[in-house]
Structure 1
Amino acid sequence: MWRRPALLAFAFLTLSAFTGIEPPILENAVGSGALPPVEKRLPEHPSVVAMDWPWQKPGRHGGDLNMLMARVKDTRLIYVYSYARLVALTPDLKIVPDILESVDETDSRVFTFHLRRGHRWSDGQPFTTEDFRYWWEDMATNPKRYPGGPPPEMLVAGEKPKVEFLDEVTVRYSWSRPNPFFLPMLAGAKPVEIYAPAHYLKQFHPRYTDEATLKQRVEEARQKSWQQLHNRKDNLTEFDNPDLPTLQPWVPVTAPPAERFVFVRNPYFHRVDAGGRQLPYIDRVIMTVADAKIIPAKTGAGESDLQARYLRFDNYTFLTQGAKRNDYRVKLWRTGIGAQMALFPNLTCNDPVWRALNRDVRYRRALSLAIDREELNQVIYYGLATPSNNTLLEASPLWKADYRDRWANFDVREANRLLDAVGLTKRDVNGVRLLPDGRPLEIVVEAAGESTEETDALELIADSWRRIGARLYIRTSQLDVFRNRIFSGETCMSIARGLDDAIATADMSPAEMVPVDQAKYEWPKWGQYHQTMGKDGEPPDMPAAKELLDAYRAWRDATDEQGRAAAWERILTINADQVFTIGTVAGVPQPVVARQSLRNLPAEGLFNYDPGAHFGMYRPDTFWFEAKENGG
């Protein structure tokens, strides 16, 4: 049995050596008896943030953190940014206990969770294994609440876990086969929360509330059934129900619809700094809704204390011009996607001639070799990106230079040789190669039309592809239409962002690089076949694709990190050699704007949704203002 260590980047100590320090904003509530003192609000063994990263130092309580969001729905990103999880990622991508005090793991099959004794929900009620039992028995395995059964993240080859509630602070999950997805899922930006505030939700459940009372509550809420009412009330990740208790550092107090959403400190939050100050340092987070098109301008005018979302690299110059005048700083963070843009030859497209061509590795390699990535980098990104395949980034411990560079150098001569070897030797009067059926080699690249960046890049690629006898044309459509055309096989090639998780570790799933998901544009019908268990789509019929699936099964069944790393290496090597997707550049910087007085935000960071939770991995509960800001 192996125990997840509790003393890593964010240490877990006891408060026996010091007295807890009360946030000033709560002093009146404590003095009046409305709240117990901080020592009684914390777990027996709180999470003590060690402040041992170079950019961190102990801070002070107080202040409001203002942010801008483009839609009401986007305010749920407070859950992502807050990033309190059962287990959580540290900035060096280690998974450590967070809400949990510790985890015992055996062969990636058995996981025993130890809760923090005395931990409480934001309303002061105890957080215990009853909350795990309620979610599992009364929600996840209740066909009236979850008609499709438990979330797929809780199943291994269709097998549900055996769940044991050993005592009020110990719960165990076990499967007969390894489940390497489990802990990384729980550390995700938006995991399946496998617990729920039972004391609050029981009032909406027929097992715990009499029929007449529950019927009245359903009618008052204008819902059709208790299931609908419960569903509206129980989502911990949406942050749209101010009455729903939470374990996150800030608690919502604004119900939609609204244009200004306020989140106040959780008085029972489980983290403290080494001096005993209960976190978060900042009292309130305020999210104001504004049109996405004007958010860069409003940010440049100083209306946001911390902003990255809705800002693009081409906003950087404008933002730096207003920095001194409006009291903010602008930093460029790394992004965690495999390629800023990638081309996706659809191996399952309907047109038989294009399908055969897309499946010829010589053709895919030729197109990749005929892209001048350094020109893209200099013209569009001022040389600040890295020419690259669509693969892992150097920040990943699994990275190798060969994955980035194979078939990615600019070599028109070799590209032409490969196309000749494919058999595309005939040309029309304009020098355009001809397909086997006589049609010209006119490659229509479909895009969602969401940015001019893609169009600019495709125009540069079109120029270099002319040198190999190919013509490139761009077709744009709305996102839903764009995706449906790809899924149905109408699209032969598309352009979109690359790998979402390009900073993976061996413990993270390699599913993005394997044909198991319809949403992967290079093999949508193969992915659909896997997701529907053979009911729809097409079974993979290329040897390399079958080898990827075999390596994926090896990763899934491995019982240790070494076995998973070996499976990853096979998957990465196959993808680099086969060029299933054609990357362009990676590491395009993301502008991050922060108030000059905001502390504990690293000058250099990684801005990535999952893993990373955008700012979440850097623990915004530890951010603080050096001087009073915004009335704080």
Structure 2
Amino acid sequence: MSFQRNSVFPGLRPARVIVGAIALVLGCTNVTAAARAADYLEPPLFAERVAAGELPPVAARLPDMPSVAAIDGPGREPGQYGGTLRMLAPTARDIRLLAVYGYARLVAYNEQLELVPDLLEAVEVKEGRRFTFRLRANHRWSDGHPFTTEDFRYWWEDVAGNRTLSPAGPPRELAPDGKLPQFEVIDDRTVRFTWPAPNPYFLPALAGAAPLFIYRPAHYLKQFHVRYAAPEALARAVSEARTHNWAALHNRYDNLYKFDNPALPTLQPWRNTTASPATRFVAERNPYFHRVDEAGHQLPYIDRVIVTISEGNLIPPRTSAGEADLQARGLSFKDITFLKENEERSGYDTLLWPTARGAHRALFPNLNNGDPAFRKLFRDVRFRRALSLAIDRELINEALYFGVALQANNGVLPQSPLYDPEVASEWTTFDPARASALLDELGLDKRGGDGIRLLPDGRPLNLIVESAGEGSEESDLLELVGTTWAEVGIKLFIKPQQRANFRNRVFSGATQVSIWSGFENGIPTAEMSPDELAPTSQQQYQWPKWGQYYETRGASGEAPDLEAATHLLALNAAWRVATEQSERAKIWREMLSIHAEQQFAISLISGVLQPVVVRRGLMNVPTDAVYNWDPGAHFGIYRPDTFWFAGDDAAGKE
């Protein structure tokens, strides 16, 4: 079977922020309650509760100025109510995907990668440093309680500003230069954050797949906060929950992203009704969701979402048997042939969406490794270049990806305006002779009887590549890498393990090399943050301790001591204060060039297609789309609240 590469990245334009009194979201527009209230349509799921007086009618549940979705584009049309959307997930923690896919954000990306208001009615930005947010009048949480500026104040003062709950203080996105903003509550619908200098990280953080939640349902969480709860009641709650103290209790129930507390009110299109632990999570439509379609239907169209927990290796066969209506999680490129063979039998289509990571999989030599010999080796650019030159990416592409993937560095993809083909290909051509010469130059010219090179201390050059062990694809990749590394005298060992243990080993410096995906965003514009390219996060597996040092403002981790890494930090800081798009683009290109030259993360393959299984009858799922975490939130950017089931017998089954 052959596959044609889908090169469509819909409408990619430089990201910008739309501000002012009129906000657009995916072509959506806001209208006044007077103009539309009479036309709002009640979801049948709530009809009995409304008739019984248990729930207000739909016009009273919507904000005065709801967000109106203009559902247009190829294959998209206004829908009908009903049905249950079934999905599979490998772990119970994946219930958080409902907060990801629901993609209700203060500001959100549309399909053109513009940042636009969503939960907010309007955003005003002045000088890139003063952000004024206007909330929608009469917007409510899923339990019907008003969503007001008190929810922002509570988070700022009583959560982020409480050292017991937040020992490190507010998130670093709020202190780009170590300086926190001035926070103001203007009225019950308006808040303002003001920094002394521009903060370009703020709005993108609010729009992320795992967003910065700068608000909380204060009316619910105050019962667990020492400042507001009655001491006796709080002590009793701590005891009943078997937590150490009130802060642990508060943190347990304060999970807007984890989405595992059914009692916690939400602003997402569906609310989780199932407490953990469980193997089947049921989410029901949010009666107070803030979006409607042009015909007056309150969104979402679909009544319920069921997430069933399944062993990861069973997700492809269960999907092929028709047990999922919308599925990408747990599926990979190697499943495409099998999935397509079962389409007619199970009544679904397999869409192929290009992924948009800088690399589908990359190797990360740990520059913070605890072994002095290996740390010295990993910090020498000649060694990293040799590792890259000794990888036959054409073999990997043909053997595992039918030749339709990209053989390029961990960087940006051709669809990005920052793409440079020379940078993309630097040090990626399979050249074992040149790799061997670099290794000899490093003093690794002695070999053991098995042909494996020897370190200066006599140990064999055995490299252990550790993984999270979540599928066979990584093992298949590493087997091919190991074959060509052996040709230049390097022995590769594979060490799969549980993800939590894997990450802890990376963070502590115990790993030599790890395998993971590359840059999260492979289709950036110059206006998007280049944070990923500098040591700014512990989650960057090539330099976790340097990233931790940055994240904690020097409280933990290690200060970078490699010139290229410190230069990347300086460039990242320069981008933050740059005012011209051309200046930011120049900085981006220099940072990308440094990564290609230095091979801090050694790409194995890029641009791999992601299978997305869609049940026939599930409407408004785009055929041509991009499967990306951030920006994109996988399905979120395409607004699953507008997906719907067509036909009486096409409404999803439980």
* Structure 1: distance between partners of 2:278 and 2:513: 41
With over 3 angstroms needed to count, the CA separation of the structure-2 counterparts of 1:345 and 1:260, relative to structure 1, is closer
Match of 1:379? Answer: 399
Secondary structure of the residue aligned to 1:4 is coil
1:123 alignment partner AA: D
Match of 1:406? Answer: 426
* Structure 2: distance between partners of 1:386 and 1:10: 33
1:193 alignment partner AA: F
Match of 1:306? Answer: 326
Task: Note the C-alpha offset of 1:184.
Answer: 0.8
Summarize the alignment of residues 26-425 of structure 1 with structure 2, pairs less than 5 Å apart: 26-219=46-239, 221=241, 223=243, 225-419=245-439, 421-422=441-442, 424=444
2:64 alignment partner AA: E
* Structure 2: distance between partners of 1:288 and 1:411: 47
Q: Spell out, residue by residue over 1:273-296, the C-alpha distance to the aligned partner (whole angstroms, 9 max, x if none).
A: 112111101111112223223222
With over 3 angstroms needed to count, the CA separation of the structure-2 counterparts of 1:482 and 1:7, relative to structure 1, is closer
CA contact (8 A) 1:156 1:175 kept: no
2:19 alignment partner AA: R
Q: Is 2:485 the partner of 1:470?
A: no
CA contact (8 A) 1:388 1:586 kept: yes
Identify the range of structure 1 (561-570 vs 280-289) with the bigger mean alpha-carbon deviation: 561-570
With over 3 angstroms needed to count, the CA separation of the structure-2 counterparts of 1:235 and 1:374, relative to structure 1, is same
Match of 1:7? Answer: 24
1:170 alignment partner AA: T
Task: Note the C-alpha offset of 1:545.
Answer: 1.7
Q: Is 2:600 the partner of 1:580?
A: yes
Q: Spell out, residue by residue over 1:224-243, the C-alpha distance to the aligned partner (whole angstroms, 9 max, x if none).
A: 54434433333222322323
1:86 alignment partner AA: L
Match of 2:10? Answer: none
Q: Please report the TM-score for the alignment, with normalisation by the length of structure 2.
A: 0.89
* Structure 2: distance between partners of 1:409 and 1:209: 64
Task: Note the C-alpha offset of 1:412.
Answer: 3.8
What are the ranges of 5 or more consecutive residues in structure 2 without an aligned counterpart?
1-15
Summarize the alignment of residues 476-491 of structure 1 with structure 2, pairs less than 5 Å apart: 476-479=495-498, 480-491=500-511
* Structure 1: distance between partners of 2:230 and 2:608: 57
Q: Spell out, residue by residue over 1:414-434, the C-alpha distance to the aligned partner (whole angstroms, 9 max, x if none).
A: 444544555555666776555
Q: Spell out, residue by residue over 1:46-89, the C-alpha distance to the aligned partner (whole angstroms, 9 max, x if none).
A: 11112233342211111111112233222222111111000111
* Structure 1: distance between partners of 2:509 and 2:166: 32
With over 3 angstroms needed to count, the CA separation of the structure-2 counterparts of 1:8 and 1:353, relative to structure 1, is same
Return the match for 2:646 from 610, 626, 630.
626
2:493 alignment partner AA: I
With over 3 angstroms needed to count, the CA separation of the structure-2 counterparts of 1:562 and 1:27, relative to structure 1, is farther
With over 3 angstroms needed to count, the CA separation of the structure-2 counterparts of 1:268 and 1:517, relative to structure 1, is closer
Q: Spell out, residue by residue over 1:110-131, the C-alpha distance to the aligned partner (whole angstroms, 9 max, x if none).
A: 1110111121122222211121
Task: Note the C-alpha offset of 1:477.
Answer: 4.5
Secondary structure of the residue aligned to 1:254 is coil
Q: Spell out, residue by residue over 1:527-581, the C-alpha distance to the aligned partner (whole angstroms, 9 max, x if none).
A: 3443454455443333222211110111233345444333222211111122222
Q: Spell out, residue by residue over 1:405-459, the C-alpha distance to the aligned partner (whole angstroms, 9 max, x if none).
A: 1121233444445445555556667765555556655544444444332232233
Task: Note the C-alpha offset of 1:346.
Answer: 3.0
Identify the range of structure 1 (71-80 vs 279-288) with the bigger mean alpha-carbon deviation: 71-80
With over 3 angstroms needed to count, the CA separation of the structure-2 counterparts of 1:550 and 1:59, relative to structure 1, is same
* Structure 2: distance between partners of 1:219 and 1:13: 47
Task: Note the C-alpha offset of 1:378.
Answer: 0.5
CA contact (8 A) 1:107 1:559 kept: no
Q: Spell out, residue by residue over 1:6-55, the C-alpha distance to the aligned partner (whole angstroms, 9 max, x if none).
A: 23524222155552122222223333333333222222221111223334
With over 3 angstroms needed to count, the CA separation of the structure-2 counterparts of 1:29 and 1:348, relative to structure 1, is closer
* Structure 1: distance between partners of 2:506 and 2:268: 39
Q: Is 2:476 the partner of 1:456?
A: yes
Identify the range of structure 1 (214-223 vs 547-556) with the bigger mean alpha-carbon deviation: 214-223
CA contact (8 A) 2:363 2:513 kept: yes
With over 3 angstroms needed to count, the CA separation of the structure-2 counterparts of 1:205 and 1:518, relative to structure 1, is closer
With over 3 angstroms needed to count, the CA separation of the structure-2 counterparts of 1:423 and 1:66, relative to structure 1, is same
Q: Spell out, residue by residue over 1:242-263, the C-alpha distance to the aligned partner (whole angstroms, 9 max, x if none).
A: 2322111112222233332221
Q: Spell out, residue by residue over 1:321-348, the C-alpha distance to the aligned partner (whole angstroms, 9 max, x if none).
A: 2211111111122223222221223334
2:216 alignment partner AA: A
Q: Is 2:45 the partner of 1:25?
A: yes
CA contact (8 A) 1:2 1:104 kept: no
Task: Note the C-alpha offset of 1:207.
Answer: 3.9
Q: Spell out, residue by residue over 1:570-628, the C-alpha distance to the aligned partner (whole angstroms, 9 max, x if none).
A: 21111112222211111222221111000111123222223221211111100000123
With over 3 angstroms needed to count, the CA separation of the structure-2 counterparts of 1:441 and 1:86, relative to structure 1, is same
2:299 alignment partner AA: L
Match of 2:3? Answer: none
Identify the range of structure 1 (555-564 vs 319-328) with the bigger mean alpha-carbon deviation: 555-564
* Structure 2: distance between partners of 1:186 and 1:247: 14
With over 3 angstroms needed to count, the CA separation of the structure-2 counterparts of 1:449 and 1:179, relative to structure 1, is same
Q: Spell out, residue by residue over 1:104-153, the C-alpha distance to the aligned partner (whole angstroms, 9 max, x if none).
A: 11232111101111211222222111211122222221334334433333
Match of 1:615? Answer: 635
Secondary structure of the residue aligned to 1:387 is coil
* Structure 2: distance between partners of 1:446 and 1:222: 36
With over 3 angstroms needed to count, the CA separation of the structure-2 counterparts of 1:502 and 1:539, relative to structure 1, is same
Return the match for 2:612 from 592, 596, 602.
592
* Structure 2: distance between partners of 1:532 and 1:202: 28
1:343 alignment partner AA: L
Task: Note the C-alpha offset of 1:387.
Answer: 0.9
With over 3 angstroms needed to count, the CA separation of the structure-2 counterparts of 1:414 and 1:226, relative to structure 1, is closer
Could you say what the CA RMSD is over the residues aligned between the two structures, in angstroms? 2.8
* Structure 2: distance between partners of 1:400 and 1:258: 48
User: May I ask how many residue pairs the two structures share in their alignment?
Assistant: 631
With over 3 angstroms needed to count, the CA separation of the structure-2 counterparts of 1:72 and 1:456, relative to structure 1, is closer
Match of 1:527? Answer: 547
* Structure 2: distance between partners of 1:451 and 1:258: 23
CA contact (8 A) 1:12 1:101 kept: no
Task: Note the C-alpha offset of 1:377.
Answer: 0.4
With over 3 angstroms needed to count, the CA separation of the structure-2 counterparts of 1:528 and 1:271, relative to structure 1, is closer
CA contact (8 A) 2:274 2:282 kept: yes
1:137 alignment partner AA: E
Secondary structure of the residue aligned to 2:221 is helix
